[in-house]
Every structure is written in C-alpha cells, then in structure tokens.
C-alpha cells in the first residue's frame, strides 16, 4: 500500500493563534509546515522555526511555495476575507480563523471564490469538538428534548487593559469588528449548529468598562426567536472583574432541561430528560492559556485533523464556509441593532442641544 503524502501547510499571522496552529500542524503525523508569514520579525514574535522559510510579505509566500496544499489565515479579523481570497486565487485550500469575515458580503465573496476555484474553506469553530457540544448535537439530532421552548446563552468573560493594549488591532472596529465577532462567535456558532437560524432580533448594548479601550460595546442582552420554533436570548459581557466567569447554555424543552456551563462551556451541570440516562462524557481539553487571560478549549488539533482527513480521504468538513457565513450573518444582524441604537442616541443628543439653543455645528 502506497504511503499517503503529508498535507503541506503555510501560516499567515504568527500571533498567539498562529503559533497554536503551528504547534498542531507539527503534532500531526500527516501534516507538515512549509512556510510562515507575519509583518513582524521573528525576534519580536519570539518565534523559533529553524528550517522553515519565514516571510514578511504574504504574496511572496504564496508565490514561492506552490507545493502548499493549505494556507491557515490567522491574521486580524478584518483581513480574513481578502487574505483568504488571495490564497484561494492561487489554488490553495484555506483554514480561516474565526470569525470567517466581518460582514455577510465579505463571507459571500469568500464562498463564491472557493466554489469558482474548487477549493475548500475550513472555518475554525473549535468548540464543536468539545465532548459536551458533541453530546448536545446528538441530543438534538435524536430529538430527545422534544419541542424546544427556550434557549439561554450566557458569555461572561474578562478582557481588560492586558488584552486591549495600545496600538493593537484588538478593540478597533475595522480590524476587530466587535465583542461578538472576536470573543463569542464560536458560542453563537454552537447555537446555530444546534437550533438553526434566528429571527425577530432585539437588543440592548452598553459599554460599561471599555470606553477608553475599544471602539464598541463590552456588554449586551439580545433576544430572538428561532426560525424552527422556540425563543432564545444571549447575555454577554467582557467587563467581568478579574477573570472569566462562565460561558453557559440552558436548553428548556418539552421533554427535558439541560445546562452546560464552565469557563468555556465545558461541563454538563444539569441534565433531566424523560426516559434518558446521561452518558459519561470524555473530559474536555483545558482552555488556551494566554498568560494574563484564558481563551476557549484547546481543540485546534481537531481542526487540523479534519483538514487532513478531507483532503486525503474526502471526509466531511466539520465547519464549512456556508455555516461560517451564517454565523457572520447572525452577528451582523445583531450589530445592526446596536448601530441603530447609537444613531438614535446621537440624534436625541443633538435634538436636546438644539432645544437648549446650541447649533449643531457647534457640537
């Protein structure tokens, strides 16, 4: 039997997540890293990659390494779309970190390009690989809960000055996109994966703690209906004191109730379902440790394994481009409410000043 050749990866963006991708590729016996790229020099990145070509120009990496099968895009959110399309145009498959893009139109361009050039886009949604998430998907597929009445998603994390540092892309609207895009899109992905699309969205958004750190809200309360039936709400904040509190989901259905919680939705803390015995799940992987703060579970090795399986064995993509697009679409619709609220507040502010005899040009 002929030995299958290794799948060859290149990485653009060698920050925390890019280094994580590098580590996971190195740990996969069916994968190898052939090139890396970042604007910063190796010394500033504190990156040691002897024998691996390193570029500070993305186009040069794409042109010089036609042996690559896949390009992993691990750059700031606002660059995901264009850098992914550049790689697709050169004939490479793409692994795109979350979020897939910052607008539905950008995500559509990526999807159309992938279809045009017959290349795959793998969107990183690592929470799908956690044992509680896999179990929840089985529960929903088997319709164990019957009709879904209500779903509550809560994401309460700490992100402070150590995270939103000066001169960083984090916290900037154009590059970051907002709290839901950067911090919690993978949890919104779980809700979409389990229950489908949403409608009739309403929301309240506040910037309690990060007014001097970011261009957008740090907290929000969002309510909606599911297209497939039932109601839901999302409560989120990055203004939690000192450390992450939890990420949790409560599902109330006709035949049972479930709560999955923990810092990154890693523990089943309540399960009461008609004629059902809760199985023993595998332990979840620990969160990614960034030093001053914690991220989601360390599941990137499953992402790399899925890419290898798809290319070598024509397996199933765990999170395809259409699903990535839908998550972007949901967040964009939520943020349209936020932006409309800001416009209304601005108009009200201007109106009040006019009533007090102040011209708009003086504001």
Domain with 198, as residue range(s), is 129-285
Q: Would you give the DSSP letter of residue 292?
A: S
Residue 300 lies in a domain: no
Whether pLDDT at 284 is above 90? no
Q: What pLDDT does 238 receive?
A: 98
Q: What is the pTM of this model?
A: 0.90
Per the omega criterion (within 30 degrees of 0), is the bond before 99 cis? Answer: yes
Q: 135: domain CATH number?
A: 3.30.360.10
Task: Evaluate whether residue 227 is within a structural domain.
Answer: yes
pLDDT over 60 at 170, yes or no: yes
pLDDT tens digits, 209-261: 999 999 999 999 999 999 999 999 999 999 999 999 999 999 999 999 999 99
Per-residue pLDDT averaged across 110-129, rounded? 95
Is 134 within a domain? yes
Q: Is residue 154 part of a domain?
A: yes
pLDDT confidence bin for 1, thresholds 50/70/90: very low
Q: Which H or E run contains 194?
A: helix 185-195
Q: What is the pLDDT of residue 4?
A: 78
Q: How would residue 343 be classed by pLDDT, with cut points 50, 70 and 90? A: low
**What pLDDT band is residue 360 in, cutting at 50, 70 and 90?**
very low
Q: Considering the domain boundaries, does residue 355 fall inside one? A: no
Strand order, beta sheet including 121-123: 54-55, 31-37, 7-12, 70-73, 93-96, 121-123
Domain count, the chain: 1
The answer to whether position 2 is within a domain reads no
* Residue 126, pLDDT score: 84
Mean pLDDT computed over 50-65: 97
CA-closest candidate to residue 218, choices 164, 174, 265: 164
pLDDT over threshold 60, residue 297: no
Q: Is residue 354 part of a domain?
A: no
Distance CA(281)–CA(275), nearest Å, equals 18
Percentage of the chain exceeding pLDDT 70: 89
Mean pLDDT, the chain, integer: 91
Q: What is the mean pLDDT of residues 150-166?
A: 95
Lowest mean per-residue pLDDT among 68-72, 270-274, 283-287 = 283-287
Q: Which pair of structure tokens corresponds to residue 352?
A: 């009040």
Could you give the 3-state DSSP secondary structure of residue 79?
helix
In a domain, 122, yes or no: no
For residue 363, is pLDDT > 50?
Answer: no
């Amino acid at each position: 039997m002929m030995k299958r050749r290794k799948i060859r990866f290149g990485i653009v963006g060698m920050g925390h997540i890019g280094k994580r991708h590098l580590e996971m590729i190195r740990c996969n016996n069916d994968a190898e890293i052939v090139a890396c790229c970042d604007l910063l020099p190796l010394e500033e990145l504190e990156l040691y990659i002897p024998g691996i070509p390193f570029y500070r120009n993305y186009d040069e990496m794409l042109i010089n390494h036609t042996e690559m099968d896949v390009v992993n895009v691990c750059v700031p959110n606002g660059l995901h779309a264009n850098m992914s399309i550049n790689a697709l145009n050169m004939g490479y498959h793409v692994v795109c970190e979350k979020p897939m893009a910052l607008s539905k139109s950008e995500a559509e361009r990526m999807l159309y390009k992938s279809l045009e050039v017959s290349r795959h886009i793998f969107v990183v949604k690592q929470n799908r690989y956690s044992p509680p998430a896999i179990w929840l998907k089985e529960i929903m597929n088997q319709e164990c809960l019957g009709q879904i009445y209500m779903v509550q998603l809560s994401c309460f994390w700490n992100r402070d000055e150590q995270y939103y540092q000066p001169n960083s892309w984090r916290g900037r609207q154009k590059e970051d996109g907002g709290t839901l895009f950067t911090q919690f899109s993978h949890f919104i992905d779980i809700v979409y994966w389990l229950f489908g699309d949403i409608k009739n969205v309403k929301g309240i958004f506040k910037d309690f703690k990060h007014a001097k750190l970011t261009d957008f809200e740090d907290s929000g309360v969002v309510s909606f209906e599911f297209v497939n039936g039932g109601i839901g709400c999302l409560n989120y904040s990055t203004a939690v004191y000192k450390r992450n509190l939890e990420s949790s989901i409560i599902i109330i259905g006709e035949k049972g109730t479930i709560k999955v919680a923990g810092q990154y939705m890693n523990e089943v803390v309540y399960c009461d379902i008609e004629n059902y015995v809760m199985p023993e799940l595998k332990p979840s992987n620990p969160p990614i440790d960034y030093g001053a703060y914690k991220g989601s579970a360390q599941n990137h090795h499953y992402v790399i394994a899925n890419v290898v399986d798809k290319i070598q064995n024509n397996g199933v993509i765990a999170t395809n481009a259409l699903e990535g697009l839908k998550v972007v679409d949901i967040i964009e619709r939520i943020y349209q409410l936020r932006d409309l609220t800001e416009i209304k507040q601005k108009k009200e502010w201007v109106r009040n000043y006019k009533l007090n005899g102040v011209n708009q040009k003086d504001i």
